[in-house]
Amino acid sequence: MKECTRAQRRCQLGHWPSVAPYNSLKVRILSSRGRVAIAGACVVPLATAALGRAQGFPSEPLVFGAGRVTVGGDVSATTSCAETPGTGSCGTDTGFFNYSDYEYSTLRMLRVDINAVVKANRYMAVLAEVRSENGGSPRPYGLYVRLRPWTERAFDIQAGRIPPTFGAFARRTYANDNLLIGYPLAYQYLTSLRPDAVPASADELLQMRGRGWLSNFSLGNLAKDRGVPIMSAFRWDTGVQAHAGWSWTDVAGAITTGSLANPLVADDNNGKQVAGRMTLHPQAGLLVGLSGARGRFLTQAASRSAGSTDPNRDSVQSAIGADAEYSRDYYLIRFEAIRSTWTLPTIDAPLRATAAWLEGRYKIHPRLYAAGRLDHVGFTSITGVVRAGSWDAPVTRVELGGGFLIVRNLQLKASFQRNTRPAGRVTHLKIGAVQAVFWF
């Protein structure tokens, strides 16, 4: 059955623009969603401050049922202003540098996360996270059972829609954990690749450079839709995960239905992803992690449309990653690098992307910190009949900012980012953003 995406539904309803991108639809959607985010950014801190004074807002997780149920939350309201040369007004991210799909910008968002742990007994707990973005209906983000067969040993089995095994950032996407406002490119920037559509040739893929927010190809699903990031920070995969910890190391492995770029609830690729991670913590304050993953990327339908002969070899995403964190006194430094390889039935050369970012934070005052991130994602070159070059446009982002604690669990953040990309209609874009974060 043909998949009907949100973008398609809009297309079918007659909202689709006759000519490509940067269209009225975007402006209309963004303006309404932007208003929500801006309103949220204003209302959340004010409401929180007012309620906080009245002792009405939680500052710690809510606990029910004699400690069996613990509920926490993370609310963030973000708004931004991109430069619009010549007008002097506040524009949107016309380069789609921060979009997680065609409609959602991470820099214009009101996000509500509610997470809960229900402890059945000493050995078993059910964990869930529900998320709403821009006032939309809440969606389950994670829902799984955690088993700890030996309570005195750090060994866990988790089954269901589980947290990502690979990498470091994907497990700290909460606004409260993010030093800045933007996401690292590896986890958010949309490449032109899609799991449900396949370029017929290298030329067709090259034609989509810098168009990951709305790409289309001639095999598989023909409708325009968003591409995928190297690793999605916006959905969790479904499967089984095992984790064991010792004093100086942790190891985890998982078998899931989707891939790093396209986590799934229901299997559509007839394959499994295997992912593993090892974390070393030789001394307090130092963490070094190594990750690897390999799984089917293309849907069965797309794979068939592209004439795949061996989906286990020609429809796959594999990745390796390394990350490190060091902190001491008032400093915190993080580094992460990911190299991902996709194989497609229609293109002989493997499609590789390498992303790396370095971020740091320094606390200036008990309430105030400054932070910065240098971020880059690059792509290998391919050669078509009429075109040659990197299969997607490399992006570099520098983001500088900081945070101010109003109270312990209410923070205001501000950041400024500069994005550069040698392809696409917008090749340079400066964006300022502010965010209010409340957690309990």
Partner 1 sequence: MTRPIVFPAVLAALVLAGAAPPHAARNGSVRGRVELRRVAPTPEPRPSVADLGARLTRDGSDRLRSVVYLETAPRGAFDQSDPAHSIMDQRNETFVPHVLAITTGTTVDFPNSDRIYHNVFSLSRTKSFDLGRYAAGRSKSIRFDRPGIVRVFCDIHSHMSAFILVFNHPFFAMTDAEGRYRIENIPPGSYNVVAWNEGLASEPRVAVIPDGGSAELDFLLR
Q: Which residues bind partner 1 (CB under 8 A)?
A: 60-61, 63, 67, 70-72, 115-117, 125, 127-129, 142, 146, 148, 151, 154-156, 158, 163, 165, 171-174, 241, 243-245, 247, 250, 252, 277, 283-285, 327-330, 332, 363, 365-367, 405, 407-409, 439-440
Closer CB to partner 1, 71 or 90, in the complex: 71
CA distance 225 to 187: 18
Least separation, in Å, of the C-beta of 336 and partner 1? Answer: 16
CA distance 70 to 134: 25
Show the tokens assigned to 298: 């293309």
Least separation, in Å, of the C-beta of 375 and partner 1? Answer: 21
Which amino acid is present at 270? N
DSSP state of 165: -
CA distance 314 to 312: 6
Least separation, in Å, of the C-beta of 10 and partner 1? Answer: 32
Least separation, in Å, of the C-beta of 246 and partner 1? Answer: 12
Instruction: Specify the residue for token string 């006194």.
Output: 329
Alpha carbon 223 to chain centroid, angstroms: 23
Least separation, in Å, of the C-beta of 22 and partner 1? Answer: 35
CA distance 196 to 273: 17
Closer CB to partner 1, 296 or 361, in the complex: 361
Radius of gyration of the chain (CA): 22
Least separation, in Å, of the C-beta of 1 and partner 1? Answer: 32
Least separation, in Å, of the C-beta of 286 and partner 1? Answer: 10
Least separation, in Å, of the C-beta of 404 and partner 1? Answer: 11
Which H or E run contains 274? strand 273-283
Using alpha carbons, list the distances in angstroms from residue 276 to 44, 135, 185, 329: 39, 35, 22, 31
CA distance 412 to 308: 50
- Bridge partners for 411 per DSSP: 405, 437
DSSP string computed for 113-130: EEEEEEE-SSSEEEEEEE
Show the tokens assigned to 272: 């499994």
Beta carbons within 8 Å of 46's beta carbon, 6+ residues apart: none
